[in-house]
């Protein structure tokens, strides 16, 4: 791609570093910014640089926060002995939207994935083990995605904490609510039979 | 969507102003920036704001340029009496890639589209008419997309300049090179028969 302007080329190149944004899409986005009022671009640039420079991570759960401790961790109405282990802030937001969890979170910041060069040391695992060692936690719920990386991460953490007095569980996997059996993949369907739940319990959820 | 951080929320909101980027995609992009080195975000922010503040448009053809006149307009080897009318810089880049045009361009900055509130006054049409009035132009090629808006824009400009001594043409529409007839839509196929070209000429192109 040949550009008639270095400034444009530079902006397109930086924009196309974002995941899933190729050169063509980046050019479309940048040209759109040029058609909009100047303030929009300046606001975007300022919001991004301020965020990247000033954002904090909660010292307890590692969730993104504007303060040292996040709103969830300082909420006195939440059970601090129940911890839900998630990959990133999107999972926190998704679970918060269900209003079905009143414990605290622990944000790992990723999943163990040797293919992508992510080992246990790149993740916030040690601080979780420390919390368990201090005896503050009664139950840990693993809520990572149902992938090989998620399962590996669950297992790694489980091995680290299995000798302590803490209950561990994982979110249930099964057919999605509203789905027909015939459209469910075999592995999920097989697991949903193995992990079947008493009917009386299913009535309550 | 509820965010645990105002800085994050602000960045996501600004990012989701871009066309085709919803809140979810914006969050994914912003979280990716947080995982990358700080410089990436700062470079992106700087590239965008510098571009928006400092970019110029060629005073002659309205193409994006770093100088008062763009590289194409100042190139002495190009025919300045032949003008190709296009919508935006992407079209200039697309035509330049074919290496089949050695005249100059005139970038309208859009197409007439009453539905989107774009009238002739929002586009760089008057400056084209001025050039024609000054007798500098011998031929104008309309190279807008083959849509209702494109046809309307072509016709509007044509009416403005038809009394002057200037040849007008439009890029040919027909079946794409490499395409089978059976997969070509009816309108295109019908037009390609009406606008058939002498076989001897087709041999040369």
Are the beta carbons of A41 and B51 separated by less than 8 Å?
A: yes
Instruction: Indicate the average pLDDT of chain B.
Output: 90
Residues of B in contact with A25 (CB under 8 A): 20
The pLDDT score that the predictor gives to residue B123 is 94
Q: Work out whether strand A56-57 and strand A103-107 pair parallel, antiparallel, or are unpaired.
A: unpaired
Separation in Å, CA of B6 to nearest CA in chain A: 7
* pLDDT reading at A100 higher than 90: no
- Average pLDDT of span A78-83: 93
- Average pLDDT of span B92-116: 90
Instruction: Indicate the average pLDDT of chain A.
Output: 90
Are the beta carbons of B63 and A14 separated by less than 8 Å?
A: no
Residues of A in contact with B88 (CB under 8 A): 31
- Which position has the higher pLDDT, A205 or B50? B50
Residues of B in contact with A49 (CB under 8 A): 41-42, 45-46
- Range in A20-24, A122-126, A188-192, B105-109 the model is least confident about: A188-192
Nearest CA in chain A to B27: A90
Is the CB of B93 inside 8 Å of chain A's CB atoms?
yes
Identify whether the C-beta of residue B86 lies closer than 8 Å to the C-beta of residue B107.
yes
Residue A81: pLDDT band with limits 50, 70, 90: very high
Residues 159-198 of B with CB under 8 A from A: none
Residues of A in contact with B11 (CB under 8 A): 47-48, 50-51
Residues of B in contact with A1 (CB under 8 A): 93
ipTM of the assembly?
Answer: 0.78
Q: Residue B8: which of A4, A34, A55 has the nearest Cβ?
A: A55
Q: At what angle do helices B148-161 and B126-133 cross, to 10 degrees?
A: 30
Q: Residue B55: which of A7, A29, A47 has the nearest Cβ?
A: A7
Residue A205: pLDDT band with limits 50, 70, 90: low
Cα angle B24-B27-B32, degrees, rounded to a multiple of 5: 130
The structural domains of chain A, ordered by start, are 6-54 (1.10.8.420), 67-171 (3.40.1360.10)
Percent residues over pLDDT 70 in chain A: 100
- Average pLDDT of span B139-146: 90
Percent residues over pLDDT 90 in chain A: 61
The pLDDT score that the predictor gives to residue B159 is 93
* pLDDT reading at B200 higher than 90: no
How many CB pairs (< 8 A) connect A and B? 187
* Mutation choice for B interface testing from A37, A49, A91 by most B CBs within 10 A: A49
CA distances from B178 to A179, B173, B184 (A): 43, 14, 11
Are the beta carbons of A7 and B50 separated by less than 8 Å?
A: yes
DSSP B176: P
Residue B205: pLDDT band with limits 50, 70, 90: low
Residue A62: pLDDT band with limits 50, 70, 90: very high
The pLDDT score that the predictor gives to residue A147 is 87
The pLDDT score that the predictor gives to residue B203 is 73
């Amino acid at each position: 791609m040949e550009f008639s302007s270095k400034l444009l080329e530079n902006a397109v190149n930086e924009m196309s570093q974002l995941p899933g944004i190729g050169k063509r899409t980046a050019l479309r986005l940048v040209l759109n910014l040029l058609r909009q009022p100047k303030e929009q671009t300046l606001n975007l640039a300022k919001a991004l640089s301020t965020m990247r420079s000033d954002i904090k991570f909660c010292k307890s759960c590692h969730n993104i926060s504007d303060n040292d401790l996040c709103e969830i961790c300082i909420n006195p109405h939440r059970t601090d002995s129940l911890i839900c282990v998630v990959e990133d802030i999107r999972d926190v937001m998704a679970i918060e939207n269900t209003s079905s969890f009143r414990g605290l979170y622990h944000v790992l910041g990723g999943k163990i994935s040797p293919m992508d060069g992510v080992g246990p040391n790149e993740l916030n695992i040690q601080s979780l083990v420390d919390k368990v060692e201090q005896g503050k936690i009664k139950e840990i719920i693993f809520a990572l995605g149902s992938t090989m990386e998620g399962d590996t991460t669950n297992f790694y953490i489980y091995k680290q904490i299995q000798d302590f007095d803490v209950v561990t569980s994982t979110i249930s996997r099964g057919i999605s609510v509203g789905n027909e059996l015939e459209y469910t993949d075999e592995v999920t369907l097989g697991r949903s039979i193995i992990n079947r739940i008493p009917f009386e319990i299913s009535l309550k959820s």
